[in-house]
Amino acid sequence: MAYDANNIFAQILEGKMPAHKVFENDHTLAFLDIMPVSVGHTLIVPKVEAENIFELENEPGSEVFKTTKKVAHGIQASLNPTGLIITQLNGTDAGQTVFHYHMHIIPVYKKMPLRMHGKEIEDSEALAKTAKIIRQAVVDIVAG
Ligand code: AMP
């Protein structure tokens, strides 16, 4: 399947669709999942056209990894999850629903069960509040 330049994450990258951003640099963008599995569920996308791991070149791939680490530290420091799932789906059969490569960071909290993947749209104010908390934590981490 050819890359669809109108996919929702491409539109977010172009500023045509809103997102609750937590970190951005020249190579990547991190923003909250609109249907989070848990509080702080974050997606990291490269700023290149790649549908999945097979299309993603090593260099943008390593930029995604670097941003994932930064944001993971920010989530850990600010939301205090008891665990952190980092995952990435390739292909419909694997559960991929948006065909622009993305990494998921899913915080896990003891006694707070995970919700179903991609089922329930979160309240925008709640997302904005969480994004602000993570964004500040990542700024602090980057500043050292
Ligand atoms: P995947 O199933 O790995 O392709 O994950 C796609 C994710 O994108 C799902 O968890 C959706 O909840 C999420 N999602 C879909 N549309 C948006 C959007 N406009 N903003 C943020 N996250 C989105």
Which atom of ligand 1 lies nearest, measured to the CA of 104?
A: 3
Domain boundaries, the chain: 8-143
Please state the atom number of ligand 1 nearest to the C-alpha of residue 87. Answer: 3
Separation between Cα atoms, residue 140 and residue 144, nearest integer Å: 6
Which of 41, 100, 102, 104 is labelled catalytic?
A: 102
Tell the residue nearest (CA) to atom 18 of ligand 1: 34
pTM score: 0.97
Find out if CATH 1.10.3080.10 is the number for domain 8-143: no
pLDDT tens figures, 23-51: 999 999 999 999 999 999 999 999 999 99
Tens of pLDDT along 70-82? 999 999 999 999 9
Long-range pairs of 120-127 with CB within 8 A, sequence gap ≥ 24:
120/35, 121/34, 121/35, 122/32, 122/34, 122/35, 122/36, 124/20, 127/20, 127/32, 127/34, 127/36
B/e letters for 109-142, b = 16+ CB within 10 Å, e = fewer, are eeeeeeeebeeeebeeeebeebbebbbebbeebe
pLDDT at 1: 65
Structure token pair of residue 139: 């700024």
Low-confidence ranges of the chain (pLDDT < 50): none
Do the bridges between strand 42-46 and strand 103-108 make them parallel or antiparallel, or are there none, so unpaired?
A: antiparallel
- Position 112 scores a pLDDT of 83
